Structure 1
Amino acid sequence: MTALRLDIIRLGVRTRRAGETLALVDAVDLTLQAGEVLALVGASGSGKSLTCAAALDVLPPGTWREGGTVALEGVTRTGAELRGRHVATILQNPRSAFNPVRTMRAHAEETLRALGVERARWDGLVASALSDAGLADGSAGEAERILSLHPFEMSGGMLQRMMIALALLTGAPFLFADEPTTDLDLVVQREILDLLDRLKASRGLGILLVTHDMGVVARLADRVAVMEAGRIVETGPVMDLFHRPSHSATRRLVHAHLSLYGLEPAS
């Protein structure tokens, strides 16, 4: 059986500076399959986050999508059709994603209401999502405790898990994870990466992992796409890119990663 596939095809993002139109993302092609992790890597400013935002039609002010399509199983979809139904998103700074005066229960109920899920299913879906995200042990009491909390009562790691739980509530087969461990300490980073790995296996999620951290790539990714100056310059299986990088941008990323540990890259 062929895995569900999401294709980003010839995607472009533009902006205007000093009266000139500039390409921030240029003709990007990516394919993500359910049950795999595709790491989108590159230096800061290379266009990684803009690519994800453009695919879902949530670009920041002053930028716009120019050209390109996003297709689910060969059928072109708009960002509005994809967001929250076929593609869920988790962000770099989870604290900024939550309304500080609303409880976790309110956030979960808002998600389910927006998706049109019948009320009778809410409790079961929320309990399952919290358990799968490692926030509750399956007991009703623990789930109730988590759901009663406000964002300021939770650590960064708990909030990232809660964001993952909200993504699971959607039932979306694909997850865009934009630098999901950057603001977390090393122990929590490892726990979040382990969690994403388990969800890939247990739920068959296809994860587009945006990162500049090659350690995260080595830990989680199946395939890698390297961006430089808004273009994809190299793609391949993760071990191929670590051991046989062909583009200078990839070699720089690998070299920088290995040098942190006093290691010499393969010649």
Structure 2
Amino acid sequence: MTGTLTIENLHIAARHGDHDHVLVDGISLTIRRGRILALVGSSGCGKSMTCSGAQGVLPPGVRVTGGQVLYDGRPIAPEKLRGHVVAAILQNPRSAFNPVLTMANHAKETLRAVGKLDSGWRSRTLEAFATVGLEDGETVLGLHPFEMSGGMLQRTMIALALLSDAPFLFADEPTTDLDLIVQARILDLLEELARRRNLGVLMITHDMGVVARLADEVAVMENGRIIERATTRDIFDNPQRIATRELVEAHMSLYPEVA
């Protein structure tokens, strides 16, 4: 079981008056190192909530009501998971950075949060920048978020995630709001990092093009539940559930010559 992260029977609910409104209903997923698992579904189905709930970072009024996370078969608390076992990439890089802090400040803050801030922080950060294709890292260290493009910010977020040396990566809609060329470059980068660093990746997306390009396996979510899971090829070639077929057909309608 070495190299697995399992979200087991996760339940998440929001309190409304005197009753709970179920948002995530018994989700179970296993992410394996060196593999990319795509969690797909329409907007509002609970994908991002699942990611947040597993890490213990839910919004006010929303809570985990059942389930656990296992690392190599052993339960692990959210505070020991975040930044140590799982690094996260968010969907809107501009909202992820403090606008008044430089990238150097963000790097030190990230390393401090995972207990790895030391005198070598600068060289480690420059190495991470180089890994994600940020040239002239010294200049990047001095920049504020408003001085950077969306693509640069997303690469910086990935670099900061790598600083933790976490074996797993949660990527929540990592190419949202990026133009097509930058999207392609970010996806290439994520795939290269996953394979080269043997990362286990949970890719949260509604974009079946991203799924076709990157994922080894797919779990399809609808109304807070997993309704289908299979290899990427089987999802596209032989979808079993109506929601899955609709996702595939909507994607293929963009490429009638292929369909």
User: TM-score normalised to the size of structure 2?
Assistant: 0.97
Q: For residues 5 and 197 of structure 2, what CA distance do their matches in structure 1 show?
A: 16
**1:1-267 equivalences in 2 (<5 Å):** 3-17=2-16, 19-117=18-116, 119-136=118-135, 142-262=136-256
- For the Cα contact (< 8 Å) 1:126–1:169, is it kept in 2? yes
Number of residue pairs the alignment of both structures matches: 259
* Distance of 1:154 and 1:228 partners within structure 2: 36
Q: Which runs of 5+ in 1 are unaligned?
A: 137-141
Aligned mates of 1:98, 1:118 — CA distance in 2: 19
Give the AA of the match of 1:259. S
- Per-residue CA deviations over 1:10-39 (Å, capped at 9, x if unaligned) read 000111335432211001000001111100
Which whole-Å deviations, capped at 9, do the CAs of 1:112-155 have from their partners, x for residues lacking one?
1222225233133112210111112xxxxx11111111100000
Structure 2 segments unaligned to the other structure (5+ residues): none
Whole-Å separation in 2 of the counterparts to 1:229 and 1:118: 41
2: CA distance, partners of 1:166 / 1:234: 33
Aligned-partner residue type, residue 42 of structure 1: G
Q: For residues 149-186 of structure 1, give each alpha carbon's deviation from its aligned partner in whole angstroms, at most 9, with x where no partner exists.
A: 11000000000000000000000010100000011000
2:126–2:138 CA contact under 8 A, matched in 1: no
CA contact (8 A) 1:3 1:35 kept: no
TM-score by length of 1: 0.94
Contact 1:55 1:70 in 2 (8 A): yes
Greater Cα shift, 254-263 or 100-109: 254-263
Percent identical residues: 56
Q: Output the CA distance in 2 between the equivalents of 1:248 and 1:70.
A: 29
Instruction: Output the amino acid matched with 2:47.
Output: K
Helix, strand or coil at the partner of 2:30:
strand
- Measure, in 2, the Cα distance between the counterparts of 1:235 and 1:145: 44
Aligned partner of 1:71: which letter?
Answer: L
**Cα RMSD (Å) of the superposition?**
1.3
1:252/1:26 CA distance change after superposition, 3 Å: same
The letter of the residue matching 1:92 is Q
C-alpha distance in 2 between matches for 1:120 and 1:75: 33
Deviation at 1:202, TM superposition (A): 1.2
Aligned-residue offset at 1:100 = 0.5
* 1:81 counterpart letter in structure 2: K
Which moved further from structure 2: 116-125 or 180-189?
Answer: 116-125
